[in-house]
Amino acid sequence: MKRLFVAVKLIPDDNFLKSYYFLKNNLQTNIIKWVNPGSMHLTLKFLGETPDEKIKEIKRILKEFAQDKKAFNVWFDKCGIFGSSYKPRVIWFGASKNEEIKTLGNQLLDTFHEHGYTRDSQNFVPHLTVGRIKKITDKKSFQATLDKLKNERLQEFNIDEIILYQSILKPGGPAYIELELYNLL
């Protein structure tokens, strides 16, 4: 069994990192598990614990899926939270004009569903998880810090490949192993 997901790898530039470290430095009084910037990715489909004998089929599905998809660019220009303002759970960066990435993600979910894989129960929301919130000490200060990046143009990313990853959970955080890469046109 392998814990698998399909994602787009995103390599942060200096401007992106400046915003990331702005949050990290200004939210130090809170308990937040920060995502390593070198591990940033946009998950398209989480497959979870997958029997080894299914991996060949998954690779075939992804190869067929990617063969007619075109590469595109997307600007990440939003900062937000998942959860309520009273109990935020995740800090994320997202894209306000994200139709192409939403289309790609939804087409991938549909393709896997057609092949017997359960469709995710939640709508596909393209985002980069920046931090997982354990405890907020001052909600007003927390929100004021996030508001400073609310409409910040963080970085433009070229989406030209999708990757099948294996995730290995470790005490210090997950390790991601690239199993197969699929280029977009």
Active site residues: 41, 127
Of 158, 160, 83, 164, the residue nearest 125 (C-alpha): 83
